[in-house]
Amino acid sequence: MEWLGHASINFIHCPDPLPLKTKEGKTTDLLTICEESTPPCRLNPLLFNGHLQTMWTVMKFAGPPVFYKRKIFDAEDPTYHGTFAVDFVVEPYTDTDDTLPIRTTYFNEQEFDGIASLDSKPMLVALHGLAGGSYEIYLRHVLHPLIQQEAGWEACVINSRGCANHKITSSILYNARATWDCRQTVKWLRKKFPNRPLYGIGFSLGANILTNYIGEEGSACMLKAAVVISSPWNLDASNHALQRSWIGKEVYSKTMGRNMVRLVKLHAEEIGKNPKIDMEAIDKVKYLHELDRAVQGPTWGYPTEGAYYRDASSVDSMLAARIPLFAINAADDPIANKEALPYEEMKQNPYAVMCTTSLGGHLSWFEIGGGRWHAKPAINFLNNMLKLDLETESISVDKADSVTARFDPMRRRWNYHA
């Protein structure tokens, strides 16, 4: 237990962090930017460990108001056919739609046809956690302050298929490697807003997906920088850690498993069309790993949930990142367990820095008064990225490239495009 909620902060990084320059020509580096972006971590002393912090998330506070309008996209890649929903942050309105989450309606055709712009506002692309959506409070604590600032941030949230009241139109849900909808969205944004610098943020499973996307894109990534919060990183290690304790298995794994079963049953009509999935077996699922065994394995051809976890983990993908990447994790996170964090890998890639706090739980970091500490370093980092010249050719990749010269971190056992 930390004294009165005062958490200690550590930074794990490469000995030679990525050199950077401000738009005024001053030299700095990624570690300095991350350190300057991170305020002291002062959390609610009554929530004095990771379990209390994480369990407090069941309290349904209103959180900051963010208004969205939704667009349904058709997947371009036939391998992942179906539709997915992207929610765009918009100005407040009074309309309501009972079929969608709170403060969310659909774009009408005329509105969406006129969405393209040549403005140079920074734009954030967000990915939520397991079975969540754009309505999540932890996500809105980051988006709301950004869109209120003078920098004029724009933002959108990519909802995982079937989440946030999106009705799927194929038997394909999503998994921890589901980078295809993110890739299509980023390409679409680049076309519609050619002058906007694009940035990314991911939470929990969305952080894992975002890191996998960044690794897959490598030096061609269209995002300027990204933040990943409470990422589970090594899914196999996280799974074993959950099953090792009673509270991990009977509380966290069971809760996540129940949420995913509910999601699958909500879309049973479409998912049931996949002959590889036994819907009756899903009725017997109690834990998250059992759900992954029943759904993700058969859907994608993984022989076991362990094979899926090892293949979908982002711990190696981080080594292929070629944009500034700021990771924020709590060492007492009972879901993204500290033994799954990429301590040694972070030391090998100058493009990445990981900040760990001794308190915070999973997607929690509750402060006195209801604030969420994780929003502060994330917002500060994104705003600090706007002050940098990320277009110059002076960014060195020698260290990163030497690590991946003979080891390909993105060589997966299952190739989606085979």
pLDDT of 394 higher than 50: no
Same domain membership, residue 227 and residue 216 = yes
Specify the number of domains making up the chain: 2
pLDDT band, very low/low/confident/very high, at 391 (cuts 50, 70, 90): confident
pLDDT band, very low/low/confident/very high, at 61 (cuts 50, 70, 90): confident
| Res 243: pLDDT | 95
Q: Please compute the mean of the pLDDT values over residues 339-345 and round it to a whole number.
A: 97
Domain assignment present for 408: no
Same domain membership, residue 276 and residue 230 = no
pLDDT band, very low/low/confident/very high, at 206 (cuts 50, 70, 90): very high
**pLDDT tens digits, one per residue of 71-107:** 999 999 988 999 999 999 999 999 999 999 999 999 9
Domain assignment present for 318: no
Last residue in a domain, options 258, 277, 312: 312
pLDDT of 395 higher than 60: no
**pLDDT tens digits, one per residue of 218-257:** 999 999 999 999 999 999 999 999 999 999 999 999 999 9
Q: Which of 37, 160, 204, 317 is catalytic?
A: 204
| Res 409: pLDDT | 84
Cα-flanking dihedrals φ and ψ of residue 355, to 5°? -105, 125
| Res 214: pLDDT | 98
* Percent of the chain surpassing pLDDT 70: 95
402 counts as catalytic: no
| Res 132: pLDDT | 94
Same domain membership, residue 210 and residue 128 = yes
Angle, nearest 10°, between helix axes 305-312 and 235-244?
A: 130
Identify each DSSP E strand in 37-82 by its residue range.
41-42, 67-74
Angstrom CA distances, 247 to 143, 257, 358, 391, stand at 32, 14, 20, 48
pLDDT of 126 higher than 60: yes
Q: Which of 128, 141, 267, 362 is catalytic?
A: 362
pLDDT of 396 higher than 70: no
Same domain membership, residue 129 and residue 39 = yes
**pLDDT tens digits, one per residue of 128-171:** 999 999 999 999 999 999 999 887 899 999 999 999 999 999 98
Rounded Cα gap, residues 355 and 30, in angstroms: 12
Q: Which DSSP letter does residue 148 get?
A: H
Same domain membership, residue 331 and residue 293 = no
Host domain of residue 224: 5-234+323-401
Q: Which of 29, 87, 292, 333 is catalytic?
A: 333
Same domain membership, residue 261 and residue 215 = no
pLDDT of 393 higher than 50: no
Tell me the H-state helices in 161-275: 180-192, 205-217, 235-244, 246-247, 254-266, 268-271
132 and 166 Cβ atoms separated by less than 8 Å: no
Angstrom CA distances, 40 to 6, 328, 331, stand at 8, 13, 16
Same domain membership, residue 271 and residue 180 = no
How high does pLDDT run on average in the chain?
A: 93
Same domain membership, residue 101 and residue 45 = yes
| Res 358: pLDDT | 97
pLDDT band, very low/low/confident/very high, at 397 (cuts 50, 70, 90): low
Q: Which of 4-8, 204-208, 233-237 has the lowest mean pLDDT?
A: 4-8
Enter the tokens of residue 195: 């002058």
362 counts as catalytic: yes
Same domain membership, residue 177 and residue 80 = yes
